[in-house]
Amino acid sequence: MIALRRLLPLASALLCAAASLTPVGAQQPSGTITGQVIDSATRLPLVGVNVVVEGTGLAAITREDGTFTIVGVPAGTHTLRARRIGYGSVPVVVNVSEGATVSVTLALEKGAAVLDEIVVVGYTTQRRANITGAVATVDMADVETRRVPDVAQVLQGQVAGLTVTQSTGAPGEEISIRIRGEGTIGNNSPLFIVDGVPSREIAFLNPADVQSMTVLKDASAAAIYGSRASAGVIVITTKHGASGKSTVDLNSYAGIQRATNLPTMLNGTQYMNKMEEAWNNSGFTGTNPYTVDKSRTGLANTDWLHALFTTGRAQDVQLTASGGTDKVQYLLSGGLNQQDGIVVYANDKYQRVDFERSVQHWNQPPVFLYRAGQAFLKGRCTGHYPSRPDQASRHTCLQGSQ
């Protein structure tokens, strides 16, 4: 026991000596990363870009001139990544030395927002994970394979709870769109927002000119549009020009339409035989009138289904030119769609000629859009001139301001 008491002061002295040799609050060697984030195409600085040093929790937001500074970065090799909606993310490897400052330049390339992740809602975009309302996006990649002449037909079978119907199926016939059924005794058509401009129809649009479509189903998603959105809202964004080399695209297709699953009709003789048999089986007395009529000559022998239906033909031609610089971007688009229906009728035809010109000048806020040769400030106008006499010509114009 006495020996143990003698050892305690010695052990305490050794522990104090060891503690004095260990530096208190030792700092890990670190450095600083500075740089600038720019657009790879225009070489202009990008503001609001989130620059992150992966694995460290260190990050910074670019200023108005695109510059950023991250201090306290541990010495060593790190991966630097810049993120911004509408741009692709490219990692950059940097080596940080103790007490040194590393300068880097990050060039981001523009990339289309993935529809499954970014959704156009009202006047802005949100990530799908952050949306609580009933919002659905349309797969526009399916348009190229379906080859439909009307934008409303693009929606068919794409969104749950959305019904697209056509009463007759005739070329150019009005298409009915309903979101979650009939909700009022009044107008049940949804509100369309085309590039920020409200409209009640979209027949004037060419499916090839549409960039994205978003369907807002419930009240929370469509609340910003007021009472007009009581039947739902469909937000449509059209294509615009992009800076870079000018491009010219020509797309065309042609097809045929036929009536299918038609019944096989009887000829004149077969019809009279069946009518004669039916009269005999009915229990009537007297002379069978069909037996007498069978001996007549000159009876009609017309296949009315063959006389009514024929092979319909459809063709579509779309020519688009786009390009521009970092200051001015343009898109010129013209299309011709012709349909000849399956009914043998001289006026069972539909023709749509559309023209769009979109010019964006970054020094001037307005965006000018032209359709059918008429211009409006941030507006659209189209003319529909069908060949069928029972359809009146109509002119649809959308007007607004940005």
pLDDT in tens, 63-110: 988 999 999 889 889 999 898 877 887 789 999 888 889 899 999 888
Same domain as 192, residue 77: no
**Residue 228: pLDDT above 80?**
no
**CA gap 188, 190 in Å, rounded:** 6
Same domain as 43, residue 177: no
> Which among 216, 62, 246, 238 is positioned nearest to 151, based on CA atoms?
238
Count CA atoms within 13 Å of residue 50 on its CB side. Answer: 10
Q: What is the pLDDT of residues 146-203, one digit of tens each?
A: 778 888 888 888 888 888 888 877 887 778 888 887 776 777 888 888 888 888 888 8
127, 174, 286, 381, 400 from 199: Cα distances, Å:
26, 15, 69, 11, 11
How many residues are there in the chain? 402
Q: What was the pLDDT predicted at 126? A: 52
User: Do residues 231 and 191 lie in contact, with contact meaning Cβ atoms separated by under 8 Å?
Assistant: yes
Q: 186 or 234: whose pLDDT is higher?
A: 234
Count CA atoms within 13 Å of residue 268 on its CB side. Answer: 10
Tell me, yes or no, whether 130 lies in a domain.
yes
Same domain as 173, residue 96: no
Same domain as 342, residue 203: no
Same domain as 329, residue 197: no
Q: What is the pLDDT of residues 40-63, one digit of tens each?
A: 888 889 988 899 998 888 889 999
Q: What was the pLDDT predicted at 268? A: 84
Q: What was the pLDDT predicted at 402? A: 30
Mean pLDDT computed over 214-239 = 79
Q: What was the pLDDT predicted at 325? A: 83
Q: 399 or 231: whose pLDDT is higher?
A: 231
Confidence of residue 385 (pLDDT cuts 50, 70, 90): very low
Q: What was the pLDDT predicted at 33? A: 92
Burial of 180 (0-12, 13-18, 19+ CB in 10 A): middle
Q: 13 or 289: whose pLDDT is higher?
A: 289
Q: What was the pLDDT predicted at 19? A: 41
Same domain as 389, residue 255: yes
Q: What was the pLDDT predicted at 128? A: 52
Q: What is the pLDDT of residues 331-377, one digit of tens each?
A: 888 888 888 888 887 667 888 888 888 887 755 444 444 444 332 33
Q: What was the pLDDT predicted at 36? A: 92
Q: What was the pLDDT predicted at 374? A: 32
User: Where are any strands of DSSP class E within 170-310?
Assistant: 175-179, 191-194, 197-199, 210-216, 233-238, 244-257
Q: What was the pLDDT predicted at 222? A: 64
Task: Return the DSSP state at 70.
Answer: E
Q: What is the pLDDT of residues 4-36, one digit of tens each?
A: 455 445 445 444 444 444 344 445 788 899 999
Same domain as 351, residue 219: no
**Residue 297: pLDDT above 70?**
yes
- Domain holding 357, by residue range, is 244-259+310-398
3-class DSSP assignment, residue 175: strand
Out of 46, 73, 108, a domain closes at 108
Q: Tell me the pLDDT of the chain averaged across its residues.
A: 75
10, 273, 278 from 286: Cα distances, Å:
140, 17, 14
Same domain as 150, residue 95: no
Number of domains in the chain: 3
Same domain as 232, residue 124: yes
Phi and psi angles of residue 362, each rounded to the nearest 5 degrees, phi first: -75, -10
Same domain as 193, residue 149: yes
**Residue 396: pLDDT above 50?**
no
